[in-house]
Structure 1
Amino acid sequence: DFIRFFFACQYAGLVPVPLPISLHLGGHQAYVTQLKRLLESCQASIAMAPEGFLPFLEEAATELDLVLIGGPETFASLEETHGPLSPLESQELAYIQYTSGSTRWPRGVEVTQSAVMTNLSGIIQHGLQVQPGDRCVSWLPFYHDMGLVGFVLGPIASQLSVDYLSTRDFAMRPRQWLELMTKSRATISFSPSFGYELCVRRLGEDFNEHYDLSSWRIAGAGAETIRADSLSRFAKTLKASGFKPEAFLACYGMAECSLAISFAPLNKGLEVDRVDGDQLSNNRLAMPFFQFSTDDNQARCSKFVNCGVPLPGYEVQIRNKNGDVLDERESGVIFVRGASTMTGYFNDPVMTEEVLSPDGWLNTGDIGYWVKNSLVIIGRSKDMIIINGRNIWPQDLEFMAEQQAEVRPGDSSAFSVSSPDGHEIAIMVVQCREMDTQKREDLVQRLRSLVHKELSIPCYIELIPPRTLPRTSSGKLSRSRAKADFLTRIQWEEVTPMLSTIARSA
């Protein structure tokens, strides 16, 4: 139904706006509130939802002036019209894509016909180098840019077959993804890192199922920080099923650029850049790290995945806070300009002006650096933890937590907060299944000591129940919401003495 409606809008000259179907964002009322914000933000006049979600849509639109609301059957019963169809213009809006993190303050990316077609051309010809006989499988949601552009518009533009698995079915039973890859002999499928992690977690190391993944030539990874260790575990677990680690393809992109900005080389697997963590934190230099002989040396090594060269037609610069263009291995904010970049955020000139310059340069908000004309992505600038003038990346803290036996990948979130006395404090919130009080305290002390040993900073550790950390509509960890949730429940008068003790011990 989604695909039929999406292209019906194209024919009719309407602007489709895919919205998330996702109750894990906080339950019934939170979802209804989010839907209302999105409907208001895009100035919707018509809304369609599957029958199961229609009550949520109707509740969200109660006070809004929509012309028509209904399910597929409602629209199928409308009288047909036979008027002339106007040809599409290149600068006409193709659709509005909401960014995955925009729940409280929605940001709708304006994607033109020309922008998305230019991006599709780059993806098909250069990023994937599509071949005759390629076949796709996707469980990615259609409201996400990788699901929509990569696996709805992409297969249509390249005339490839694609088999879909619902996102809900994948989350409940991820092995269905592997079963569908086996059955269809698919060659192309993508997932954020957490999708590969979920497969390994559910399969276990001694699974008995037989899969044939020998046809899988492109196992794309993107949409969030690429966790090389997680993908390596996936490759190791499914080696006997014919999966080849060389199939992994790292890429970088964002909805503000339709989808893709850069791709790593095909058939090479993941290229991990190992850099001196102290140099990166203190001097913003991503200097190669060669010594791996001791645990202490390993602790100072930060690892990032190379996301390859930009697609043709893009200009990419890495700049410091003063706007100066940086050289190789100098980390800074990534700026992009090209035919696939957005025209702006819908009905939001203030936010558009913040990120898009008059001459077309887009501030991605991501931090990265160059290595031999390839982009290496470190993370989001807004997620950076700054303690005593040092830049600490949340991924480094989260990785420490996830190396503990009690913690699974994706079960930790690191950020910083300002205490009442004005000091910036590193916080790590960790989902923990352990119920024994002493074992929980041991985990906290172990993590605190590890952070102090490796980064020389104090860190407050909070243990929370499983399935508590907030996610975006596409399933990614939301550090900003985790921080907001932490601040709503923290009692400063209770934790300040503890933080003072931690600070003194550091």
Structure 2
Amino acid sequence: MANARTIAQAIEDAAKTAPTRGMRFVPESGVPGTRGVTETSEASFSFTAIERASARYGGALQALGLRKGDRVGLILPANEDFVLCFFGAIAAGIIPVPIYPPLGPGQLQTYLDNTRHVVEKSGARALVTPAKIKRLLGTVQSACPALEQVVAVEAIRESMEALRPEKITLDDIAFLQFTSGSTSRPKGVSLTHANIASNLEVIMENGLGVREGDVGVSWLPLYHDMGLIGFVIAPLYYRVPSIFLSPLLFLKRPVTWFQTITRHKGTISYAPNFAYALCMKRIREKDLEGIDLSTWRVAGCGAEPIRPETLESFASTYAGVGFRKSAFVPSYGMAESSLGIAFSPLEQGMKTLSLDGPTLWSEGIAKPIDDTPPKSSADPSPDSSDTVVRLVSCGRAFPAHQIRIFDPDDLTSEHPFEERKVGEIRISGPSVMHGYWDDVDRTRESFAGPFLRTGDLGFLHDGDIYICGRIKEVIIVNGRNYYPQDMEWEASHVPGVRKGSVIAFGSRHPSGIEADRERVVIAFEMQDAQDMPMGQKVSKEIRKAVQEGIGLTVDDVVALPPGTLPKTSSGKLQRGKTRSLYESGELLDRVKSRDAGRIELAKQAAKSQLSYFKLAVLGGRRRREE
């Protein structure tokens, strides 16, 4: 690994070698130059200013009694506060633990439970958050004996304590990245400075081909790996200017993403599949006046299943404002590998593989079929057949890293599958974590020989990795494997179904004649709460679509109002949790409890004069408008 450095050293190097470059933060009011927003409202920090300010934040954390190796939880919705406090902790040798802030008025208790879990599991001695959120966290502190203090970030900002230098090595833990918990309780991924440096080298040099003049633009949450490592830490290492929007600003007005890329001539920006779909839904033609996406050379996509139709539609829709379909870089990654595992080649765009569905589902074999593009719009597309599955290539393993496919029951990782055989994706290399924080059992279960078990199903074809789904999510009916993603895709095309809000899963009856087989259940959200009387009709159409699409009979279809299905803090649907709620009968109870949750948060807000409630309201509005 060439020129390996700790994050602390990278902060110093950036301040010395690129003092005038740095990070800019778009205000919640919007992009400067639009709707009367002024230039001065966009906060700017050069790398020199970041070094100085983070040193003050680090000194303030040390003044709280924190020492090298201690953990500090960060619940900081403002990007500026998060970046400076995160780097301040790093500079002091303190281990930051990012925690997502409350984003909506409902399910406050669920949020507090999750926060307690992260704080308790990490052993954080302190938690830094705005004063208005601090008032909500009394039960967290009382339930976590190791948590000595909850500190308002406003006091940290004003502190003038000097940083006492600490010796930080590549083998030291840099920070704990708690997984989003889509299938279980979040686990604390322990990432060393060496892990981070290794991953950034292959991402920036091999994956993105970073060059002079690059500018990163991101609205991704900074408390998750793609936003934090990809757009905060990576640009620091490679002295790339970065511009940040808040996630809520993007969700309220997706066009601000395009406006920021246009204004700053952004070249690199990433988003999950849903964000590209949201742009097409929410950005009107008149909003595109003055938009120029021609500088956008890397349009990354990852973090959730990539739908080729979504990216194709996006490229076609915005070609008129300069977007090039060759800019797409489908990617595969996970927190346990720091961030990136594989990126598709630059300038290639999206490469897809059309497969015979029945062979893939029943035999676990990826059998390619002709995927020649249609000659004209009148010709049937290659994926028009109900038996064809299109998957997106995520490229190859990075140098010094490996991707192999194994039988999930092979605990030695000695006999990898041949190409085009579906199995568990396993990875190895210097980017991979050493283990989960304070969790020996889960760490042991996560490795098979030298390989990390990702829990993802996939196969290799011509050296490229293709993702099929999750091992524990496969539904077995009459000896045949079905992937929930395929059912969800069929259901999502039924009129009346809210896009991106469908979950399919297998469930077993505890007793009776059906206890010996897995039942197929689909839960979905209606586009609007007022459409609930039409739920039965839409459910019937979903059954028909899945039957005709993949030849599977669905046992139960559950219609729900918008915002009911459980999601992680990063917006991923929680299939395992949905299954549990369904089997316990709580899924439908959630419909009744949503209003109660809003009332509870409103009471909390009134009691504490919580102006931060505005943010929660926006979060609720976001879910209704998506």
Superposition TM-score, scaled by structure 2 size: 0.74
1:140-178 CA-to-partner distances (Å, cap 9, x unmatched) read 111110011100001101100000000111122211111
Equivalences for 1:158-177 in 2 at 5 Å? 158-177=238-257
Secondary structure in 1 aligned to 2:503? strand
- Structure-2 change in CA distance of 1:209 and 1:283 (3 Å): same
What amino acid maps onto 2:257 in structure 1? W
Other-structure match for 2:574:
478
Of residues 369, 391, 404 in structure 2, which corresponds to 1:317? Answer: 404
Equivalences for 1:277-426 in 2 at 5 Å? 277-290=357-370, 298-323=385-410, 324-357=415-448, 359-419=449-509, 420-421=511-512, 422=515, 423-426=517-520
Equivalences for 1:232-247 in 2 at 5 Å? 232-247=312-327
Secondary structure in 1 aligned to 2:435? coil
What amino acid maps onto 1:302 in structure 2? V
What amino acid maps onto 2:568 in structure 1? T
Other-structure match for 1:455:
550
Q: Which 5+ residue runs of structure 1 have no aligned equivalent? A: 493-506
What amino acid maps onto 2:221 in structure 1? P
Q: Distance in 1 between matches of 2:202 and 2:587?
A: 51
Of residues 351, 354, 374 in structure 2, which corresponds to 1:274? Answer: 354
The Cα shift of 1:204 comes to 4.7
1:345-395 CA-to-partner distances (Å, cap 9, x unmatched) read 0011111111124x5310000011001111111111122111111111111
Report if the CA contact (8 A) 2:383-2:390 is conserved. Answer: no
Other-structure match for 1:200:
280
The Cα shift of 1:254 comes to 0.3
1:308-352 CA-to-partner distances (Å, cap 9, x unmatched) read 011111122100134231011001001111111001000111111
Cα RMSD over matched residues? Answer: 2.3
Q: Distance in 1 between matches of 2:150 and 2:171?
A: 29
What amino acid maps onto 1:320 in structure 2? D
Q: Distance in 2 between matches of 1:12 and 1:490?
A: 45
1:70 counterpart = 2:166? no
Which range moved further: 370-379 or 317-326? 317-326
Of residues 329, 334, 353 in structure 2, which corresponds to 1:254? Answer: 334
Secondary structure in 1 aligned to 2:170? coil
What amino acid maps onto 1:318 in structure 2? I
Other-structure match for 2:185:
105
Identical pairs, percent: 34
Report if the CA contact (8 A) 1:34-1:104 is conserved. Answer: no
The Cα shift of 1:80 comes to 2.2
The Cα shift of 1:439 comes to 4.7
Other-structure match for 2:10:
none
Secondary structure in 2 aligned to 1:333? strand
Other-structure match for 1:4:
84
Q: Distance in 2 between matches of 1:56 and 1:476?
A: 25
Secondary structure in 1 aligned to 2:453? strand
1:191 counterpart = 2:271? yes
Which range moved further: 33-42 or 66-75? 66-75
Other-structure match for 1:467:
563
Q: Distance in 2 between matches of 1:183 and 1:208?
A: 13
Report if the CA contact (8 A) 1:25-1:473 is conserved. Answer: no
Other-structure match for 1:499:
none
Q: Distance in 2 between matches of 1:320 and 1:205?
A: 49
Q: Distance in 2 between matches of 1:341 and 1:291?
A: 35
What amino acid maps onto 1:410 in structure 2? G
Report if the CA contact (8 A) 2:182-2:577 is conserved. Answer: no
1:171-228 CA-to-partner distances (Å, cap 9, x unmatched) read 2221111111111110000000111111111125676544111110101000111111
What amino acid maps onto 2:174 in structure 1? A
The Cα shift of 1:405 comes to 2.5
Q: Which 5+ residue runs of structure 2 have no aligned equivalent? A: 1-80, 373-379, 589-626
The Cα shift of 1:86 comes to 2.9
Report if the CA contact (8 A) 2:474-2:484 is conserved. Answer: yes
Report if the CA contact (8 A) 1:344-1:356 is conserved. Answer: no
1:93-134 CA-to-partner distances (Å, cap 9, x unmatched) read 000001112696220000001011000000010000001100
What amino acid maps onto 1:471 in structure 2? K
Matched length = 490
Which range moved further: 434-443 or 197-206? 434-443
Q: Distance in 2 between matches of 1:13 and 1:88?
A: 6
- Structure-2 change in CA distance of 1:217 and 1:81 (3 Å): closer
- Structure-2 change in CA distance of 1:16 and 1:281 (3 Å): same
The Cα shift of 1:34 comes to 1.3
Q: Distance in 1 between matches of 2:186 and 2:194?
A: 24
Report if the CA contact (8 A) 1:425-1:458 is conserved. Answer: no
Which range moved further: 440-449 or 166-175? 440-449
- Structure-2 change in CA distance of 1:276 and 1:22 (3 Å): farther
The Cα shift of 1:237 comes to 1.9
1:392-443 CA-to-partner distances (Å, cap 9, x unmatched) read 1111111111222322420211111012331211111121136568854332
Of residues 416, 441, 444 in structure 1, which corresponds to 2:536? Answer: 441
- Structure-2 change in CA distance of 1:291 and 1:371 (3 Å): closer
Q: Which has the higher contact order (CA 8 A, sep 6+)?
A: 2
Q: Distance in 1 between matches of 2:586 and 2:180?
A: 27
Superposition TM-score, scaled by structure 1 size: 0.91
The Cα shift of 1:81 comes to 4.6
1:432 counterpart = 2:526? yes
Other-structure match for 1:219:
299
Equivalences for 1:28-107 in 2 at 5 Å? 28-65=108-145, 66-76=147-157, 80-81=161-162, 83=164, 85-101=165-181, 105-107=185-187
What amino acid maps onto 1:332 in structure 2? G
- Structure-2 change in CA distance of 1:235 and 1:52 (3 Å): farther
Which range moved further: 423-432 or 326-335? 423-432
Other-structure match for 1:504:
none
Q: Distance in 2 between matches of 1:245 and 1:163?
A: 23
Secondary structure in 2 aligned to 1:410? strand
1:72-106 CA-to-partner distances (Å, cap 9, x unmatched) read 222345572564x2321111100000111269622
Q: Distance in 2 between matches of 1:6 and 1:186?
A: 24
Q: Distance in 2 between matches of 1:404 and 1:297?
A: 16
The Cα shift of 1:52 comes to 3.4
Report if the CA contact (8 A) 1:137-1:180 is conserved. Answer: yes
Q: Distance in 2 between matches of 1:279 and 1:153?
A: 43
1:128 counterpart = 2:128? no
Report if the CA contact (8 A) 1:122-1:311 is conserved. Answer: yes
Which range moved further: 106-115 or 478-487? 478-487
The Cα shift of 1:235 comes to 1.7
- Structure-2 change in CA distance of 1:276 and 1:30 (3 Å): same
